[in-house]
Amino acid sequence: MEKILLLGASSTIAADMARLYRKQGKKLFLVGRNPQKIEALSNELGSSILGTANIDFNNFEEVPEFINNIIQTMRSIDLVIIAHGDLGNQLKSEKSFVHAKDIFYTNCLSVISLLIPIANFIEKQGFGQIAVIGSVAGERGRPRNYTYGAAKGSIQIYLQGLRSRLWKKGIGVHYIKLGPVDTPMTTHHEKNFSFTSSALAARKIIEAIEKNKKEAYVP
């Protein structure tokens, strides 16, 4: 029985991934910021659910105990997926340090706060995989989203170091560079041919993890 910890499960793409993993017979522990969405997804997936929990990922001081409690429940974890994020408002971040900080908190620091206890557990466990869903925005600074892109780029570098640390133990660390996807997070973005569906993105992410790709562009 393969057990998956899905963090950010209230996001559209993560929910679609959970549905695909259920079809594969995997067991899931769902974590998200939106209790209503997590409960609805849990009810939909039924017996494939090991448990659920809710947290504001930016409450860093709560994370170590929170993750430890999940570990105690799951006992072993085969795959951890970190899927949460928020675009923020680029123009607002150019005028407000507080908003720029919030973008970094959500897209960078909250991810690191999760990775520290998770990586230590997976390393001690001696097996498993860690995957983080990021963005192609971290590849290059663009006027429309460079604050968000800088946060995502920081995570990419962090994961490169974590991957080097864990590879000798056979632990995979994957970074997904997500392109434009039609989700609620991109509602206000003008859509073009480069956008893909959440369902297709979810399938491509799972394929990249299964193929043990260190870094993968999706779609």
CA distance 175 to 40: 28
Structure tokens at 72: 């105690």
pLDDT in tens, 118-154: 999 999 999 999 999 999 988 888 988 999 999 999 9
Residue 76: per-residue pLDDT = 98
CA distance 176 to 116: 19
Three-state secondary structure call for residue 126: coil
Please report, for the chain, the start and end positions of each structural domain, with discontinuous segments joined by +.
3-218
pLDDT in tens, 85-128: 999 999 999 999 999 999 999 999 999 999 999 999 999 999 99
Q: Does pTM surpass 0.85?
A: yes
- Supply the CATH classification number for the domain 3-218: 3.40.50.720
CA distance 40 to 165: 37
Contacts with 92 (C-beta within 8 Å, 6 or more apart), sequence order: 99
